Structures are given as C-alpha cells and as structure tokens.
Amino acid sequence: MADRFGIRAIDIIDIVIVACILYRLYKDLRGTAAIRLFVGVLIFIVCWLFVSFVFQMKLLGAIMDQIVNVGVIALIVLFQDEIRQLFTRLGSRQNFISRFMKRILNFNEQKIENNDIMQIVLACKNMARNKVGALIVIPHNIDLRYIEDTGERIDAKISERLIENIFFKNSPLHDGAMIISNGKIKAASCILPVTNKTDVDPDLGLRHRAALGITEKSDAWAIVVSEETGRISWTEFGNIETGITQEKLGQYLSKMMKEQ
C-alpha cells in the first residue's frame, strides 16, 4: 500500500529516525534556556518544508532556503554545548562499538579499584554526618586535565582521611572540586563550569550546579555532599539524584568501575 502512494520503506525509516532525533534533542533541552529557541527553529523548519516542497512557492522558498543555509552555522554556535553533550553521550555508551574503539585507539581509561570505592564512600559518609560540603569528580573517558589545572595539584593515593582533611571547613582547599582518576587524588580546589539549566531545584547550591555543569560537558561522574543538609547526591550526564544512601553510593561507584 505504501508503494501506491509513492512512499517507500526507506522513507518511513527516514521519518522515524528524524522523529527520534528531534525527541532526543527536545528531551535534552527541556528545562534549559535553549528550549524556546529549539521550538522556534522547529516551527521555522516545518514552515520551510511546506513552502518549498508542498506549496512549491518559489520566491518565498528561495528566501527561506538561504536562511536555512546560513542558519546551520548559527545553530552550531548557539547549540554548541548541547551538541557537545549529545556526542559525549553517544561516544560513552557501553556497547560493542564503544568497547571495540577503546581497544583499537588504546584510550587511557580512568581506573578505580574496590579499595578506592570504600575510601570514597567512607569519606562521604563521615562528611555527610558532620555536614561538611564536598564535590568529587571522577573522569571516565574524557580527560579533565584542563580542569585539574584550575586547582592545586596533589597526585596522592586515595584515602578517606585525606579526602576529609581537604574538604574540612578550615582547609584552604575545601572550596572547589576534587578530581579523582587513575587511582589517585589528582587535584583539589578546581573550578568547574556551572549548569545553565533553569529547572534545577532552588534548594540545591553552587556545588550541585557545578556537578551538573561538568557532567553536561563531559562523561565524568560527580559526588556532592551538601553542607546545609548533609545529603549525598550522585550526578551523571547532567542528571542528579539527591539524598542517596551510603549503600547506593557504593553501588553507583561499583557500577562505574565495571563500565571502565
């Protein structure tokens, strides 16, 4: 029946793929400042398709064609953060192709061991009990040395007491983020980008927004301990889960270790 109306199977597949991409973009942009721009661009594209291909209005279609040609570059500039996040997610999926490419290209993966997990969990538990604020970032495949350069280099073995001492309120390094990778505490007091999302819980502070920011722009994981409430939060791919237990944190870190 599809052939009678000039619609091929490949056309249906084409429509489904485009619809999935648009839905994925909408889902990622929802709650950000770019969502209105995205909707506006989508409306313009629909109007352009009707003018150029349905009604075949040559003059108006030619004008809109020129706008579309120039608009592609403008969209890349306007949505550069969202495009970066989309490709980061795509490249970080734990599938056959991703694992194969890692082996072929010999990526330097950020290893974390069982003992390291225990040290991090215990430190977060103690800091949460004493309401000591903390922000710990663990890179995955994307190198964060440019973030490490914004803080103080440490390059020390992961230790519960060292983590707690660094984030102690009177410590000169307690502000900013700690970077843990390759089984070591690489740096502390690092500066992170802050999320531009508008739907973030107003009760979440700057540490939580910084955790969201770095996980939006990379495939890193981030742990936040709230100084006000003592709650522990887990952040990945721009999503945050607050109020997790010590056991849940250990499960997340163990899962992260398996994905490396």
pLDDT per residue as tens digits for the range 91-108: 554 444 455 444 444 444
Cα(190)–Cα(173) distance, rounded to whole angstroms?
9
Task: List, for the chain, all residue ranges whose pLDDT scores fall below the cut of 50.
Answer: 1-5, 93-97, 100-110
Q: Look up the pTM and report it.
A: 0.64
| Burial of 207 per CB tally in 10 Å (0-12, 13-18, 19+) | buried
Identify the CA nearest to 131 among candidates 239, 205, 189: 205
Written as six digits, the tokens of 228 are 């006000």
Identify the CA nearest to 136 among candidates 184, 103, 98: 184
Predicted confidence at residue 192, as pLDDT, reads: 93
Written as six digits, the tokens of 14 are 């084409």
Contacts of 51 (CB under 8 A, 6+ apart): 57, 60, 61, 64
Q: In what order do the strands lie in the sheet with 152-157?
A: 152-157, 184-190, 177-181, 134-138, 221-225, 232-236, 239-244
Helix and strand counts by DSSP (H, E) for the chain: 10, 7
Identify the CA nearest to 156 among candidates 187, 135, 131: 187
Predicted confidence at residue 17, as pLDDT, reads: 87
